[in-house]
């Protein structure tokens, strides 16, 4: 009995305690051996022996349980100690990336129109004359082609100069009604303070049964959109010209720098031009085989939106990858 007790007490950890458990309480353990003696005892001694043995067993079991709990606690403490972290330890700051302001602005525009049930369409960057010009009512030798300084490839294909060709591709593959935007990259041979050879546009197109959409719809839709993007601004529409729309207009917002008072950014007019728009020219519908429909379209430059929203003075800085600029948009 004393020997068994000390064997339990001596266990240093849970593993050695488990060995002790088997040697004491197991089927071939010491207690089992004691119980086996019972059958060889004379009958009048059996009851007394069994009673004592059971008491021994209970007291050993209690000792075992207490020891086990103590060793479990010890193991837990050891584990906690080995896994402890030094929260005061120095850790170098991790640099995280962020969306480029142009992509961020593009995403905001896409989200706005997607929420208004516009589908988001894309098209190839290398276009052909038909989709980029011809079908948009810009026949060969049309003087308006000069407005778009085109990069041509040797085989006659070209880098798209605007996202308007996606209008054509979308109408050619679907029946009206159409309600789409097409965000994307465009290219022009132009590089100065306000132009880069690669930039981004978002085109929009809505086509319904004839008479179902009007210039008034276009104005109210764009006014709401521009106030969503630029906040509390006035919006005005000026007559303009685009070959693919008739009538055409340009939309201005009241200058967000001087609140319309007149400053250097708005050339002292109080207004900033932000997009082109108009009612789709019947020749465009003819080119894609649409009959008895009316529609409106608009196109905008994403860089210009980003520059105005974030008050970035030089367009070129958007493409220099200077971390000091980009860091401000994290
Ligand atoms: N494609 C024109 C450009 O690149 C922008 C534009 C103006 C698109 C008027 C339109 C529109 O759909 O109606 O300058």
Tens-digit pLDDT profile for residues 191-211: 887 889 999 999 999 999 999
Positive or negative, the CA dihedral 264, 269, 270, 273 is negative
CATH topology of domain 101-329: BirA Bifunctional Protein; domain 2 (3.30.930)
- In 219-309, the DSSP E strands lie at 235-242, 245-254, 271-280, 293-301
Pocket of ligand 1 (CB under 6 A): 162, 164, 203, 242, 245, 276-278, 297-299
User: What is the rounded distance in angstroms from the CA atom of residue 59 to the CA atom of residue 8?
Assistant: 12
Kindly report the protein residue whose alpha carbon is nearest to atom 7 of ligand 1. 276
For CATH 3.30.930.10, list the domain ranges present in the chain: 101-329
User: What is the rounded distance in angstroms from the CA atom of residue 105 to the CA atom of residue 268?
Assistant: 26
pLDDT at 257 over 80: yes
Specify the DSSP class assigned to residue 318. G
Computed over every residue of the chain, the mean pLDDT equals: 93
| Token couple for 81 | 């100690």
Strand partners, 252: 236, 273
The alpha helices in 155-249, defined as continuous H runs, are 165-173, 215-230
Question: What's the pTM?
Answer: 0.73
pLDDT at 276 over 70: yes
Report the run of H or E that residue 179 belongs to, with start and end.
Answer: strand 178-187
Strand partners, 180: 119, 205
User: What is the rounded distance in angstroms from the CA atom of residue 134 to the CA atom of residue 131?
Assistant: 6
Q: At which residue do the structure tokens 């000091």 appear?
A: 324
Residue 295, pLDDT score: 98
Q: 291, exposed or middle or buried, with CB in 10 Å at 0-12, 13-18, 19+?
A: exposed
Kindly report the protein residue whose alpha carbon is nearest to atom 12 of ligand 1. 298
Mutate to test the pocket of ligand 1, among 131, 135, 162, 300 (most ligand atoms within 8 A of CB): 162
Mutate to test the pocket of ligand 1, among 195, 217, 242 (most ligand atoms within 8 A of CB): 242
Kindly report the protein residue whose alpha carbon is nearest to atom 6 of ligand 1. 299
Ligand 1 centre distance from Cα of residue 279 (Å): 11
How many CA within 13 A on the CB side of residue 298?
Answer: 25
Ligand 1 centre distance from Cα of residue 317 (Å): 25
């Amino acid at each position: 009995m004393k020997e068994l007790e000390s064997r339990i007490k001596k266990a240093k950890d849970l593993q050695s305690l488990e060995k002790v458990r088997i040697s004491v309480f197991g089927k071939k353990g010491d207690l089992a051996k004691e119980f086996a003696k019972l059958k060889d005892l004379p009958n009048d001694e059996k009851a007394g022996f069994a009673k004592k043995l059971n008491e021994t067993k209970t007291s050993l079991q209690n000792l075992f349980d207490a020891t086990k709990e103590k060793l479990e606690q010890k193991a837990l403490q050891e584990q906690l100690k080995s896994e402890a972290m030094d929260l005061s330890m120095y850790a170098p700051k991790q640099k995280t990336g962020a969306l480029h302001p142009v992509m961020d602005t593009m995403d905001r525009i896409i989200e706005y129109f997607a929420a208004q049930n516009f589908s988001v369409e894309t098209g190839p960057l290398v276009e052909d004359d038909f989709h980029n010009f011809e079908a948009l009512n810009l026949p060969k030798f049309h003087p308006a082609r000069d407005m778009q300084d085109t990069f041509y490839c040797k085989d006659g294909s070209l880098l798209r100069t605007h996202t308007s060709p996606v209008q054509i591709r979308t109408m050619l593959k679907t029946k009206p009604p159409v309600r789409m935007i097409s965000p994307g990259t465009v290219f022009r041979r132009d590089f100065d303070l306000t132009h880069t050879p690669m930039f981004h546009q978002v085109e929009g197109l809505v086509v319904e049964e004839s008479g179902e959409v009007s210039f008034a719809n276009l104005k109210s839709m764009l006014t709401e959109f521009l106030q969503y993007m630029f906040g509390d601004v006035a919006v005005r529409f000026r007559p303009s010209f685009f070959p693919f729309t008739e009538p055409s207009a340009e939309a201005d917002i009241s200058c967000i720098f001087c609140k319309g008072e007149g400053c250097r950014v708005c050339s002292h007019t109080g207004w900033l031009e932000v997009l082109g728009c108009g009612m789709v020219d019947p020749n465009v519908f003819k080119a894609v085989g649409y009959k008895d429909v009316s529609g409106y379209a608009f196109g905008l430059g994403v860089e210009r939106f980003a520059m105005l929203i974030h008050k970035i003075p030089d367009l070129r800085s958007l493409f220099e990858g200077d971390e000091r600029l980009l860091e401000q948009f994290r």
